[in-house]
Structure 1
């Protein structure tokens, strides 16, 4: 057994609530007692969701829970104010209902529970296994990006043609991201965000909030009517990790959704390559992904249609023009905004959508 059933009445909303008593209650199963006597929080990463790294001491540990764990959830009211509650709930569902047997590596979880606008997961602390994490300011070589596309292709192919009827909790489109982005695209929020020093000097069409909103409305309409697979939904480079000897894998499944393949692929490549490398290599890397999808049992997609869809979905990168620095550090926002901004200028997805 890898995780317990949901216990909505016990979900914490602050780091202070991660007590020995709480850990003991949620990790104990019907026939396997876990009794935690001490919790030592060593590090907290504040962001869209909060990651709390803790060392546990046990009086009983029938489940062999590791001493070092990471607890993830909506523990910061500043981020919750951007409407991210559904994202926390969704990630809890992912780890409880979809992660077991998923066609790609995800961190092992020992408890996952949800309630309205909250989800909490106790998972392995990947740092204990020597994991390397993607850093927006320190990109990996292009060959490693190609390997990551193979990882995406494997789970996309395995879940090609998925529908909402199979998993009622899974939204069509990255709903939590859409809800948050609707706030960010409102005129009173949009202009102060895109005028920050972290954001590149955008062309006039990308500074027009009404035009950007219409572009996203058209893209979401297009996506909702498309053939779907299960997407990560926020598959940028800084979501990656790799354990020595293993392929890259993705963290942070709080925007998992039903969407067309290009949602993940365009968004990933826009973040994971320097502007020069993307311009020189993106078409070859797209073909590499298409070959991998077919090789893993998915459809053989037409190259030209795939290139059109790839270009169209570069619009998702606009989100980084509006990511508040309460969610991500300033240097991360700056690096991502410049990469995605260049892709938006190169491919003009809004022009394609409004033509």
Structure 2
């Protein structure tokens, strides 16, 4: 059996294992573990999780909830203790298949690790984290976070940031990356964010092949035929591409910093949804954010300045980077958002409303065409200097 076939077998086995685990988890009750649904969060359980005395929480009421790649709920808490009167919860998805997906890629576990890594004095603005729980047997996770619904401004991928806002986000990303630049924690407590199994890698390739092999969804008309052929390299040469990015200085990256995963408090940005946080090259966050969240005509006029600003911010933190090299890496990293946007669109309305995913693909295509990004990435993957 070839290594590729073995990885495929292991990948299918991993999916089957997690499908069984999720099925059992959703049918076999637990009285002492992490709640599966927001309405199962009792006053006693939450009080214990918050370290309060018994009876400190008088009542809990679910104000609002929905579910996507994770279940989300806003709860009202009545208590005499010094805790907020509203909290934002993240739990396992309601949908069975999305729950399996969360387990396969450890999305909940990664987000919990990210909040623990960022700690009580994070280098960027995030919702304050009050409770982190991970059940490694059932693979359930639970987060109780600061409720920002009354204080922060939220947007969607359809929106665009201004130049001033883009500068602020790039500054924040530089601060995040500087705080974890080449950290040895990736060999210790943050190791799960730095290592992927062969099965997990193969599942990723299978998903890419499924969505990029033949692009036929509602945004197919936005993608030129040569680009459709070029993007196949993201699964055909994924090993070389991964090796190239792994050769760059590693830091903690958000992984999905589009405008829908950000919030603003005045002019200051903050970051939500750390499910795909990982060890990676920081410039990938910068390229992803810019491609996803800045309207293309504006971005073409400011993106070189954004990359130079990022480099200066790192330099101020004592991290020397070559500006020209960073610009070339930025050009290659634009393919990251292309991958995410096209796969989301190919999945249809299950992942994002069609108008949202269409805007995402429009911006992604504009970026890779403006920078010939797949050619740049191919050269890097072949070991050539750009």
TM-score of the two chains, using structure 1 as the length reference: 0.85
1:332 — aligned with what?
356
- 1:15-54 correspondence to structure 2 within 5 Å: 15-29=38-52, 32-33=53-54, 35-54=56-75
2:99 — aligned with what?
80
Determine the C-alpha separation between the residues in 1 that align with 2:130 and 2:91.
Answer: 14
Determine the C-alpha separation between the residues in 2 that align with 1:51 and 1:319.
Answer: 22
| Displacement after TM superposition at 1:152 (Å) | 0.9
| Displacement after TM superposition at 1:47 (Å) | 2.4
- Please identify which structure carries the higher helix content: 2
Change (3 A) 1:218 1:255: same
- The gaps in structure 1 that reach 5 residues or longer are 1-6
- Verify: 1:305 aligned to 2:305, yes or no: no
Pairwise CA RMSD? 2.8
| Displacement after TM superposition at 1:138 (Å) | 2.0
The answer to whether the 8 A contact 2:102-2:108 is kept is no
Change (3 A) 1:314 1:9: farther
- 1:1-355 correspondence to structure 2 within 5 Å: 10-29=33-52, 32-33=53-54, 35-58=56-79, 60-61=80-81, 64-76=82-94, 77-83=96-102, 86-116=106-136, 117-128=139-150, 130-163=151-184, 164-172=186-194, 181-187=204-210, 189-190=211-212, 194-198=215-219, 200-208=221-229, 210-244=232-266, 247-299=268-320, 301-317=321-337, 318-323=339-344, 324=347, 325-355=349-379
1:92-144 deviation line (CA, Å, top 9, x unaligned): 1222343323211211111101133432100110113x201132122221111
| Displacement after TM superposition at 1:210 (Å) | 4.3
| Displacement after TM superposition at 1:46 (Å) | 2.5
| Displacement after TM superposition at 1:155 (Å) | 1.9
Aligned length: 339
Larger Rg: 2
TM-score of the two chains, using structure 2 as the length reference: 0.79
